[in-house]
Structure 1
Amino acid sequence: MSRNSQQNRAARKRKKQQRGGARQHREFRAEIDAGSLIFAGIEFAFGPSANAESLRRTVDDLAELEGSPVAGAALDRVSQLLDASMDHAFASGWQPAELVHAVRREFGARTARLTVAAIGSHAGRTSAHKSAPEPWREQLDELNIGADDAPARGRLSAWRAAENAETTATWTAILSLLGFCNYLAPLTPLMATPPNWVTGAAASRPAKRGAEPKVLSRIRGLLAKAEATTFAEEAETLSAKAQDLMTRYAIDSAVIDAHAHTSLTDQVVTRRLLVDNPYPEAKVQLLHCVAKTNNVRVLWHQRFGLVSMVGMPVDLDLSEMLFTSLLVQASHALSEAGGDRVKRSPSFRRSFLLAFATRIGERLTIAREQAGRDASSQYGKELVPIMAERSEAVGSVFEEQFPSVVTTSHSITNEHGWQAGRVAAELADLTGGRERITG
């Protein structure tokens, strides 16, 4: 081979190596750029740096990576971040159903389905179906999260395929969820968090919640029948003894607890309820009226659509049952009242529900006072300090958990809705079917 040929071959080899090195450098830089885009997009999606236009541009840049070798690395990275976000959320006291509920309120159904996928990955990694407390596993079942060990990347890819949406839409959902989890407010842990789960029989025992599950199931079945009645006369006849029964049951339980000489503060528990749209403020007002009458304190986590309830287990059970029943009755009454266009307006419906809640609170207060007088004649002077001590215990636990509370107020914007709501509340059945249980 001539000297010129050798020189030409060497020159071609050097150029090829240079081109390969440049390509490797560009790919390396692209991976770095993808990571920078992801973290920038998270900040643009939620929080103090949120910016819709900047998020759109970032999402467009990430979508352009689709089909390139870098795209896989980017999805691997966000899969890891989603998994870490679940660890952060659950360590902060959040539960699966609460997180999905809050995300759906904030971003919609697509991002909520992504949250379910991320929770599924977390559940597989932590063996949640075997180790988590019973209420946690029940929430996984309600979310249709099966017991499998699919990796985070696999669940993310399955979610993207099932959504059948533009790449920009799926990237927006991913970045939104990551940003949302970065700024989650901590909640009071209501059960063991994932690092503290245990395996075996201890994990299968449900937490005690006052009445036995079979009794609660029977009550709920009867509640459904009570809510389905179309006879206002029947509801009105039953309503006179409603809060009387609840109060007497709670008072009897209080006297038994007092004679047992147990710590009242240790008996106080916290639960959380999910409050759906529309008109969440009216629903929370109804819950507040029911809870206040039954010595339960409530706090509305407005941004997330959650309500914390603090009280004795028996009082919480009764408040939840009555609230659920009254909410169904209010919905039925609102449907019957909304015939013309005026009565279908948001202002009418909101005012209707607020009035319903207010009048229910008045009726419950009257019934509770009557029941209290009847119980005093049975138990005598010992009843007053017993009930005062229970109220003080509930208040101290509530204030310890929520030292800074802001009181909210609601304005009425539709007088017709307000009047109609009060009329409906007069006909509401406050017993929730408990008369029939006793019978």
Structure 2
Amino acid sequence: MTPGTAGSTVERALAAVLYAEDTAALDTSASLLAADPGADAELARRGEELLRRAWARGWQPADVERVVRRELEAHHVRLAGGLVRAESAGYAHLPPRWREQLAALEAEPWRADRFSYATAVLELYRLLVRLPALEPVAPPPGSAPLTAPVAGEARMPARIRALLAKAEATAYPEEAEAFTAKAQELMARHSLDEASLAARTHTGDEPAAIRIGVDAPYETAKAILLDAVASANRCRAVWNEAFGFSTVVGFEPDLESVELLYTSLLVQGTGAMVKAEAEQRTGGRKRTKTFRQSFLLAYAHRLGDRLASTSRRVTAAEPTLLPVLAARDVAVTARADRMFPETTTTRVRGATDRAGWDHGTAAADRADTGRAAP
């Protein structure tokens, strides 16, 4: 099979299916590809082209994996992971957090007969070609980094990570409370130290942005929790419900705090919810969905107050930094407004389950970040 013939096969297959929804077109295109093994390399090249278009439109590996997981099936996720890793291998420079996202992709390749494989690839490409533009949070891969990374440079102190890991692992609510409270206090102090250093050295730091997944179910409550964590750490969060993520804008140390703390609190809250729900079922109740929704809404609401209280307390101890922090707040707001000039406010459906609300409030109190740990 000559390269030109292979290209013709792929061209005909893609032209028939990328913008069509009917099963007949998909089956016909998959049959063309399955019958032409010489077209495999060209098909893979076209997939990499689609990914490069996605990167230019602001997407990153985690975003692609998330949307594939939401819209397609598990084997498509594995296909997408392999395609993204292959496409990203040749870049001299990758954006911040890109390598971490690549490492988190599905690593197990998917094997199937040629027709099934071609069908899945075409379904994946049909999704990729329709991805809209997103607000960019980093330059596309291949762009020269704005600043050279320092080899071995530590980011968030290991002690904070260790405290949150202990809070997630313990079966005792009082211990989780103490670990989480101390972690949030250290995060707030770390943020102040970084702001003070930037002011003294005139480094000219600018706010950055990251995307954090907000997955179903109960994504509204999870988005509220993320917003509370972001606000308490001097960041702004904007939720994209359609694609299952929030974009968080802030300075780098604060962004890492938000990412770590949100993930930890979600783990803690989910564990507490499952335990409380089991107790409710033992008592004879069956309203699982309303209980969970109300639990997580209460958990997010209460934690917002607690996190904000801790942040204010730590900041109040450093009054000389107030002008610096105010300037950073203005910079974050300005960056967020430039990225999202047309944000809208969404009405949140209220909690309807009193038991769920009460248990969620109690769980937030146990994860209390407003009191200093012993």
| TM bucket, shorter chain | 0.7 to 0.9
- Which of 76, 80, 83 aligns to 1:115? It is 80
TM-score between the two structures when normalised by the length of structure 1: 0.71
Question: Tell me, what secondary structure is at the counterpart of 1:196?
Answer: coil
Inter-CA distance 63–175: structure 2 relative to 1 (3 Å threshold): closer
SS at match of 2:369: coil
- Which of the residues 60, 79, 89 maps onto 1:95? 60
Q: Which residue of 2 aligns with 1:141?
A: 103
Given that 1:135 and 1:206 are in contact with CA atoms closer than 8 Å, whether structure 2 keeps it comes out as no
From 280, 290, 295, give the equivalent of 1:352: 295
Residue 238 of structure 2 aligns to a residue whose secondary structure is strand
The separation in 1 between residues aligned to 2:74 and 2:166, in whole angstroms, is 32
Gaps of 5+ in 2: none
| Aligned counterparts of 1:431 and 1:328: Cα–Cα separation in 2 | 19
* Cα distance change, pair 363–165 in 1 and its aligned pair in 2 (3 A): farther
Q: Is the 8 A contact 1:269 1:311 kept in 2?
A: yes
For 1:306, the equivalent position in structure 2 comes to 245
* 1:188-228, Cα deviation, whole Å (9 max, x unpaired): 44445334359xxx99x64799x814x54443233211222
Aligned residue for 1:60? 27
Partners of 2:30 and 2:244 in 1: CA distance? 32
Aligned to 1:8: none
Does residue 177 in structure 1 map to residue 124 in structure 2?
Answer: yes
1:231 and 2:231 equivalent? no
CA distance in structure 1 between the partners assigned to 2:271 and 2:86 by the alignment = 40
1:196 correspondence with 2:143: yes
2:21 equivalent to 1:82: no
Structure in which a larger fraction of residues adopt helix: 1
Residue identity in the other structure for 1:283? K
2:361 corresponds in structure 1 to 422
Amino acid at match of 1:309: V
Q: 2 CA distance for matches of 1:81 and 1:279?
A: 36
Moved more, 242-251 or 416-425: 242-251
| Greater shift in the superposed pair: 185-194 or 305-314 | 185-194
1 CA distance for matches of 2:242 and 2:233? 26
Percent identity of the aligned residues? 34
Instruction: Report 1:266-305 matches (<5 A).
Output: 266-305=205-244
The residue that corresponds to 1:14 in the other structure is: none
- Paired position in structure 1 for 2:154: 212
Q: CA deviation at 1:248?
A: 4.4
Q: 1:347 to 1:173 in 2, by over 3 A?
A: farther
Q: 1:435 to 1:164 in 2, by over 3 A?
A: same
Displacement of 1:231 after TM fit?
2.3
* Aligned-pair CA distance for 1:58: 1.1
RMSD: 3.6
For residue 244 of structure 1, report the CA deviation from its aligned partner.
Answer: 5.1
The verdict on how the C-alpha distance between 1:120 and 1:364 changes in structure 2, with shifts beyond 3 A counting, is closer
Partners of 1:385 and 1:261 lie apart in 2 by: 14
* Cα distance, 1:425 vs structure 2: 0.9
Which region of structure 1 is more displaced relative to structure 2, 352-361 or 185-194? 185-194
Q: Mark the CA change 1:222 to 1:240 in structure 2 (over 3 Å): closer, same or farther.
A: closer
- Of 248-257 and 387-396, more deviation after overlay is shown by 248-257
**Cα drift, residue 392 of structure 1:** 0.6
Deviations 1:249-268 (A, max 9, x none): 434543443344554xx431
Q: What is the CA distance between 1:118 and its match in structure 2?
A: 1.7
Residue aligned with 1:338, SS: helix
Q: Which has more radius of gyration?
A: 1
Q: Return the alpha-carbon distance in structure 2 between the equivalents of residues 34 and 321 of structure 1.
A: 44
State the alpha-carbon separation in 1 of the partners of residues 10 and 143 from structure 2. Answer: 35
